Structure 1
Amino acid sequence: MTLFEECREALKDDFSILDDEHKAITILNSFPVNNNYITWSEIEYRDYECMEDLISDLSVLHNKSLYVIADSHNMPVFKSNLELIIENIYDVSALSPKVLIFNEEVLMEPLFPSYTLRVGLK
């Protein structure tokens, strides 16, 4: 089983691969992205080591979908909900050294190789 298959299995209660990645890329580009890197100094962010704190702080996003893009050409863009992603963050962050999790309101990046999740809000 590949890392992507393990991630898909972990998120199976709310997991879908995007047919058209254009919408997700457009949303990602609404954040300060420069040369495929997030310019964190241009947005307000917080680093989370405790995922329970993150879920509590972002409770308004509890049932909203988030897109996941891994820095790998053979991995499709997919979406799931915040709670499932956070509950399975190790499976999600294992997809690639660089993984971005986002929607119109929030942008998250696991800080590889630590278990810290950087979270920026619009």
Structure 2
Amino acid sequence: MQTSTEVTNYLLAKPGAYVDYPFGPQVRVFKVAEKVFALFDPDQNPLRINLKCEPMQSLALRDLFDAIQPGYHMNKKHWNTITLDGSVPRGELMRLFDLSFELVVKGLPKARRIALRAD
């Protein structure tokens, strides 16, 4: 999963996910219930995406993969920037996309979480 179209389609398939452009037309910001769970500039080559992650897992991932770095312009404890250069296996990328979404949903009020499951 290396193209912006593939990544966009995967992220938008999440319940309640949508794209916003608060930083201008060049940066796609993926949100659920007004909370950011991913963002990237589709014109970058290679594509780099910021994803939320658990702090301890972030450190382990950064040790395992050169393509995973502390989040660019983000809280480096909770966010990673992943360069989609093919070095991180597709299954791991999908797991990290899912984890970012799940971490944001987990932080929502219970009523919002229930509403997302009903969609």
- Name the TM-score class by shorter chain: under 0.3
TM-score by length of 2: 0.27
Q: Tell me: higher relative CO, structure 1 or 2? Use CA pairs within 8 A at least 6 residues apart.
A: 1
Q: More strand per residue: 1 or 2?
A: 1
